Structure 1
Amino acid sequence: MSGSPIRVLLVDDHAVMRAGFRMILESAGDIVVVGEASTGAEAVATASALRPDVVCMDVQMPDMDGIEATRRIIADPTASPAIVVVTTFDRDDYLFDALAAGASGFLLKNAGPEELISAVRVAAAGDALLAPEVTRRVIARFARPPHSPAAIGRPDPPVVTSEPRAVGTNGVELTDRETEVLRLVAQALSNAEIARRLYIGEATVKTHVSNVLQKLGARDRVAAVVYAHRHGLA
């Protein structure tokens, strides 16, 4: 992404909201809004045609909601944007359905301009982002004991111990550096910030993050953060 602006598609059924987002994002200097859509179906078609880096997706819209639109965009091999759901409604079903559909972030519309800009940058960098208001609920949801009523039917997650190089009950093992990277991921640091903190290259950080996700069987950084909090690595 370095050297070229982050290309964003805005999806919201309110023109005033889209205009406000456009003004905020384009004021950042490194972000350009390449298109807009007012319905879920229009978002799917526009994402395929424009191939943006990031989609800012509303939830409640005519003809197709943002959750289904997210699912279809993620499933389309011709377009691979990161999707940040931006909604007025602080509801658990929207939050968890969006993450299950493949969204990289979840932000509330009462967030400040800096938070919106940061969310787009984080998503464009391949990282995941959650609004501070919902992070604790995500951790609580996925960190329930495996045999609690809410967890029945889910496979037991890999066990990550708090000691570097320790082997969990189902064979998960992290190196010293991978454990260190996971701790920083759990602090919501981006790859670039982790690289600066550890005095290593950003490409090296990406490799460590990829290895951590693979070892944990985690789909994305949000799942890795959940594991880190659950096992005292945060």
Structure 2
Amino acid sequence: MVRILVVDDHAIVRSGLMMLLNGRQGMEVVGEAADGDEAIAQAQTLRPDVVLMDLSMPHGKDGLTAAAELKRSLPETAVLILTMHDDEGYLFRAIQSGASGYILKSAPHEELLAAIRHVAEGQAYLYPTATKRLMSDYLDKMKNGEHAGTYESLSDREKEILAKVAQGYSNKEIAEQLVISVKTVESHKSNLMEKLELRTRPDLVKFAMKKGLLTFD
């Protein structure tokens, strides 16, 4: 029996997924959560085989941040990202977060069920066009001498926040300038530092200087 935790900020979506999954042989929904913080707490208590995780949730931790934390605290639990974002940037970030799979909300039910079974068995799952895109991008990076953890692996927002943090702005000041929440700034900052394998603000400043992100009059 595959034990599943469903995580989505929309109650109607959660209900629909629970009805679909509970009606299938060999699957059982053991819990639900509306944001990343709740998902982590529920997973630590319920120890599901698979966490079916929405990517974008406005309150609490987002799906990628929660996936990374679950990977560290519950390595035996597989995280399957279920999202509407058919976007290369999100795809790579999901993989880097430790998610076992990435599937679109527009996918047929049978494809979702197959994806859940795959990750529950310890396999990775990407929707078909994503696999082709991933391989193409990887080959391009190899050809250009790039690798994971480079500045180019950051999203545009992460690059923006990297520069502002290096310039000495606080999380609150960055949030006000970019008109986003402090939690969102903290999430982006955590993600970019993990991607670049940086641990402290001085490390971040040195990296920004090397990249020419800081200018001095």
TM-score (norm 1): 0.60
1:101 maps to which of 85, 97, 100: 97
- Aligned with 2:69 (options 60, 72, 78): 72
CA shift, 1:150, in A, is: 4.6
Distance in 2 separating the partners of 1:152 and 1:125: 26
> Structure 1 residue 149: deviation in Å?
6.1
| CA distance in 2: counterparts of 1:141 and 1:70, whole angstroms | 23
- 2:110 matched residue in structure 1: 114
Aligned pairs, how many? 149
- The Cα RMSD (Å) is 1.7
Seq. identity, %: 40
Give the structure-2-normalised TM-score: 0.65
Letter in 1 for 2:66: A
**Partner SS for 1:32:** strand
Identify unmatched segments of 5+ residues in structure 1: 155-234
Match of 1:158 in 2: none
Cα distance between partner residues in 1 of 2:127 and 2:148: 27
Greater alpha carbon shift after TM alignment, 31-40 vs 135-144: 135-144
Distance 1:153 1:34, change over 3 A: closer
Alpha-carbon distance in 1 for matches of 2:37, 2:107: 26
* Alpha-carbon distance change, 152 to 56 in structure 1, aligned in 2, over 3 angstroms: closer
Aligned partner of residue 102 in structure 2, secondary structure: strand
> Which whole-Å deviations, capped at 9, do the CAs of 1:108-153 have from their partners, x for residues lacking one?
0001111111111111111111011211111112222535165497
Runs of 4+ in structure 1 over 4 Å off: 149-154
Q: Which residue of 1 aligns with 2:29?
A: 33
What residue is the counterpart of 1:130 in the other structure? Answer: 126
Unaligned stretches of 5+ residues in structure 2: 151-217
Q: Secondary structure at the match of 2:61?
A: coil
Question: Going by fraction, where is helix more abundant, 1 or 2?
Answer: 2
Give the Cα separation in 2 of the matches to 1:153 and 1:66: 20
